[in-house]
Amino acid sequence: MLQLAVQPGGPRDIVVQALPNATCTLSPGQTTAASNAIEMFSDADGTIIFQIQSTQGNTRAVPAESFLYCSDDAGVQATYLLQITIDPGAAEYVRPLPRGTPRPALTADPAILTTAELVAKGFPPKPDPIATPEAYQTWLKIVSEPATIVPPRSVRSAVHNYIPVSKDNYAGISAQNPVAYRGSGNLYDYVSGSWHVPQVSTTIPNEWEHMSTWVGLRGCTGGNCSFPVSTGTLFQTGTVDAAMYDGSFVYSSHSAFFEWLSWLYPSCLNQPPGNANNVHVIGTSPNQACDLQITPNRILVNERDQVFAVVWTGDANGTPMANGAYAYSYIQNMTTHVGSSTLRFSSLPAWPLNGFEADWILERATLAAVLTLSNLPWFSSPYVMSAPAVRYQNGGVEHSANFSTVANILWTMSASGRILAVVTFPSSQDISFNWVNYY
């Protein structure tokens, strides 16, 4: 049993030591059903961080009880009873220091280094300082400060950041070229963005609410590149936010993720770009897909932290190029100076990534087994993604741009005729996500 004390109000950080490298669900009562549990991942030390906000005033004599269920890749399981009390004198929890590989700040002139040289030093590709000045300044801040680079790991998750049937669960922007696979128009090879992790909450008891914010690239094969991309692939990186209310406390959590999906089922089962043991089938026929989810679980992300994320395709050295043989992604918590990269994946025939579409998206998550969408939590608005940059090829010439200078498709999140979230544009280099309704 773990006895925890939090100050009134909140949200307040809670730090728990649990089973290392585990997938865990936090649930009031004793149920593990995904409809009323928050999924989270422990790091190599067993550390889990989540937030609690009290709705019961300044004191609570009887502890509230929640259960944390954890299971690691070897099948080892552990259950923890959490007893939570409200105490105005409770100490604030302190984030543990990350364990990883130190990456020194860049000391060379970034103007003279090639992308391959930057990637070899552990830095993401450099945005164009003229075409995307805000993105370049964000990148310059990242490379000018030392950071800790932590390894990611593959996980099996019940939650996925996609839906192959409709984009009504999206709020955001897609730069899309339906004829890209035929070799004409814009072929995207780089997409990035930066945002501050929002506060999330809910007033609906015992209901699981979940959303993700991500940047991504899509690929497709054959003659069908329209949506749904039944012959394509999506590679994305970003953050996940979840909230749940048990009548006494609002629980919330935040984490970072990489995810690779291929709708080329069943051939995608035979050519995974990573750990074959963690590539698994989600959905039901005819909307089955292969999924590889990778969690940089030592990047401990909390609300208000600033995050930078980028996905690109390129050659074996990391130089961006359309139809590149390899796919890369990088994400960094700029507040804590902790980053992680998937290094590179081969863009194999069953996992194509040829730059058909670049995305900046806020999304309701999907329960994989039945393709059921989660409900949308309240999130602090306006929730701004700054420095959104994209790079593309046209006629063999590379171009850099922000979202306002490419052909965009605008997505509004809705359900049953109700608008849930919309996007607005504070400037030519900012995307603002705005909460409207629960669902």
Domains in the chain: boundaries: 2-86, 133-435
What is the structure's pLDDT at 419? 94
pLDDT value for 142:
94
Kindly give the residue spans of alpha helices, DSSP state H, lying in 328-424.
none
- The reported pLDDT for the residue numbered 310 is 92
pLDDT of the residue at 231: 58
Alpha-carbon span 177 to 337, nearest angstrom: 35
* pLDDT score at 313: 85
> Reduced to 3 states, what is the DSSP secondary structure of residue 260?
strand
Of the candidates 353, 355, 300, which has an alpha carbon nearest to the alpha carbon of residue 331? 300
Give the pLDDT of residue 214.
92
- pLDDT reported for residue 229: 47
Q: How many CA atoms lie within 13 A of 263 on its CB side?
A: 23
H-helix or E-strand containing 378?
Answer: strand 378-379
Structure tokens at 312: 């690109």
CATH class of 133-435: mainly beta
Residues contacting 107, CB < 8 A, separation 6+: none
SS3 324: coil
CB-CB contact of 327 with 139 (8 Å): no
Instruction: Note the pTM of the prediction, 2 decimals.
Output: 0.89
Quote the distance between the C-alpha of residue 185 and its chain's center: 28
Would you write out the chain's pLDDT as a tens digit for each of its 439 residues? 778 777 877 788 888 899 988 888 888 766 555 456 788 888 888 888 888 887 766 555 556 778 899 988 788 999 998 888 888 888 888 877 777 889 999 999 988 998 889 988 889 998 888 888 888 999 999 999 999 988 877 776 766 655 554 567 889 888 876 554 444 556 788 899 999 999 998 888 877 788 889 998 887 765 555 554 455 778 888 998 989 888 778 888 888 887 777 777 777 776 555 544 566 676 666 667 777 777 766 677 888 899 999 998 888 888 887 777 788 889 999 998 888 876 566 666 666 677 778 889 998 877 655 567 788 999 988 788 887 888 776 655 667 777 777 777 888 998 888 999 999 888 878 899 999 998 7
Name the nearest CA neighbour of 354 among 398, 329, 324: 324
Containing 387, the helix (H) or strand (E) segment is strand 383-394
Question: Using CA atoms, how far apart are residues 24 and 178, in angstroms rounded to an integer?
Answer: 40
Please give the CATH topology (third level) of the domain spanning 2-86: Immunoglobulin-like (2.60.40)
Q: How far apart are the first and last CA of the chain?
A: 34
